[in-house]
Structure 1
Amino acid sequence: MGTNVALVTGASRGVGRGVAVALGAAGWQVWVTGRSSTRHGSTSHLPGTVEKTADAVTVAGGVGVAVVCDHRDDAQTRSLVQRIEAESGSLRLLVNNVWGGYERLNAGGWTEWTAPFWQQPIHLWESMFDAGVRAHYVTTALCADLLRRTAGSAVVTVSMEVGSAHDPRHGVLYSMAKAADDRFALAVAVALREAGVASVALHPGLVRTEGVMQFAEHLDLAASESPQGVGRVVAALAADTQLLELSGQALTVRELAERYGVDPGP
């Protein structure tokens, strides 16, 4: 059996980087995408680029491949998938992690993020739905043929518990977008089940990403998770030979950590 191949979108930093590196430690070839690049410049004041993540995947024991990709641009996403098919020949795991909805928050917009929805800028819709939900849909649609041809393949869409039950501490728009991701994961599971492709929504808890740690003073981090811990859970999930039995569900990192005996905290 050849090397397992994964695509992790939005992997310059944060959860995406943690997932990519954990897969590397498990011996995967990991294609990592994002807009922040060592060569072409970063989109954020936060550290991290696709090249640095790919290097970390390789150091961990896998093979990292960096691709600068704006997943709002269908042509760029299509070109990426064509490269994966041409150079790797298969795709066993797609992790839909790209999420433009945090950009303004990461830039320091805590007050905006916590404001009532009628006081938030309307273009947050584009950030969450175009650079989030739509990007997940398009990437999955373009990867579907590759996934259907690869035994034991899966789609993991990073979502959040607010999609299952609205939490008033989170905004209306955020709740809507995450609910859309959860339903997307379920619908994809139904559509791809006959081909043996699993699809789940993944609900991390509070994760100590670079963006989150900017606001540590506002948060209770006692039960928080690390990007690396979330990544180890995803790697264990991808290795689960009974994964198809979980298809169509929205699963928390904590419950999966218990299932696989992984500590998501450190």
Structure 2
Amino acid sequence: MTSLAGKTLFITGASRGIGLAIAERAARDGANVAIAAKSDVPNPKLPGTIHSAAQAVNAAGGRGLALKCDIREEDQVRAAVAATVDAFGGIDILINNASAIWLRGALDTPMKRFDLMQEVNARGTFVCAQACLPYLLAAPNPHILTLAPPPSLDPKWWGPHTGYTLAKMGMSFVTLGLAAEFGPQGVAVNALWPRTLIATDALNMIPGVSTANGRSPAIMADAAHVVLTRPAEGFAGEFLIDDEVLAEAGVDDLSGYAVDPSQPLLPDLFLD
């Protein structure tokens, strides 16, 4: 399979950034895309809403569905999944893209922020999978793809920002567990992570970090497309890196993804 034509994707946090890029790439194949995110009205600091994302999906050749959904709320997740099934007849692919970040040490991490990260990242990944799995198990080539890093217990990733690392690794360990449980049932449960920083609007909100040192979200969208068009059977529990996925697909020149080719690329977190 080389196309996502006719497939239905449920993507969390897809009103902007990597989630939107994955949505638009799938739409170019003619996919149905449910945009599940909180961004119902414009935010001056973070452009993009579920409505503009759905319009972008339609413009790219797919069918977009805007769903206001806070994945911390189980009832909202289940309602969004039900609306997706009502609109498109099922769900073939879940993309766990939504994530909260706070790169501070323990004494500078308010518990409200700590709780937000755990609820969105690890718990949100779990509840979205739980809600989608009944439909994925009935799909012909089901995938769950979570944007999470390879699991690591290296203290260098934990010391600087324990709260965020715990939340992000939580997504990785949820992936590991779901892969063990549902991989044998034919569901491809895997994770994808970028080699370098990805230039998103959210990145601009982190002090001292410039999008000029990153790659476009398109690299993650293209890598996700390669993963999602693979046969699901026997493909689970993999922690994939974007450039390695593309290299295996025969894409060796990644220069076009650089935001500013004159600037050095900075590695993303959690990769040596």
After TM superposition, give the deviation of residue 129 of structure 1 in Å: 0.9
1:28 to 23, 28, 31: 31
Alpha-carbon distance in structure 2 between the residues aligned to 1:189 and 1:80: 23
After TM superposition, give the deviation of residue 192 of structure 1 in Å: 1.0
Matched, 1:127 2:130: no
Output the amino acid matched with 1:133.
A
Which SS does the other structure have where 2:65 is aligned?
strand
Query: Residues 249 and 218 of structure 1: is their aligned pair in 2 closer, same or farther, counting only changes over 3 Å?
Result: same
Alpha-carbon distance in structure 2 between the residues aligned to 1:131 and 1:17: 18
Query: Residues 89 and 2 of structure 1: is their aligned pair in 2 closer, same or farther, counting only changes over 3 Å?
Result: farther
Alpha-carbon distance in structure 2 between the residues aligned to 1:166 and 1:225: 27
Check whether the contact 2:203–2:211 (CA below 8 A) recurs between aligned residues.
no
After TM superposition, give the deviation of residue 94 of structure 1 in Å: 0.2
Check whether the contact 2:223–2:242 (CA below 8 A) recurs between aligned residues.
yes
Alpha-carbon distance in structure 2 between the residues aligned to 1:190 and 1:52: 37
Structure 1 unmatched ranges of 5 or more: 106-112
2:204 to 203, 213, 220: 213
- Counting matched residue pairs gives 250
Matched, 1:8 2:11: yes
CA-based RMSD of the aligned residues comes to 2.4
Query: Residues 162 and 196 of structure 1: is their aligned pair in 2 closer, same or farther, counting only changes over 3 Å?
Result: closer
Structure 2 unmatched ranges of 5 or more: 259-272
% identical aligned pairs: 24
Alpha-carbon distance in structure 1 between the residues aligned to 2:184 and 2:150: 28
Matched, 1:175 2:178: no
Which SS does the other structure have where 1:123 is aligned?
helix
For residues 66-145 of structure 1, the aligned pairs below 5 Å read 66-99=66-99, 101-102=100-101, 113=103, 115-145=104-134
After TM superposition, give the deviation of residue 166 of structure 1 in Å: 5.0
Higher helix share: 1
Alpha-carbon distance in structure 1 between the residues aligned to 2:160 and 2:238: 22
Query: Residues 33 and 44 of structure 1: is their aligned pair in 2 closer, same or farther, counting only changes over 3 Å?
Result: farther
Q: For residues 11-53 of structure 1, what are the alpha-carbon distances to aligned partners after superposition, in whole Å with 9 as ceiling and x for unaligned?
A: 111111111111111221111111112xxx2466210001111
**In the alignment, which residue of structure 2 is the partner of 1:147?**
136
TM-score norm. by structure 2 comes to 0.83
**In the alignment, which residue of structure 2 is the partner of 1:109?**
none
**In the alignment, which residue of structure 1 is the partner of 2:267?**
none
1:199 to 168, 184, 189: 189
Matched, 1:255 2:244: yes
TM-score norm. by structure 1 comes to 0.85
Query: Residues 44 and 178 of structure 1: is their aligned pair in 2 closer, same or farther, counting only changes over 3 Å?
Result: farther
Check whether the contact 1:16–1:97 (CA below 8 A) recurs between aligned residues.
yes
Check whether the contact 2:183–2:234 (CA below 8 A) recurs between aligned residues.
no
2:225 to 228, 232, 235: 235
Check whether the contact 2:203–2:209 (CA below 8 A) recurs between aligned residues.
no
Q: For residues 85-107 of structure 1, what are the alpha-carbon distances to aligned partners after superposition, in whole Å with 9 as ceiling and x for unaligned?
A: 222122111001111x23xx6xx
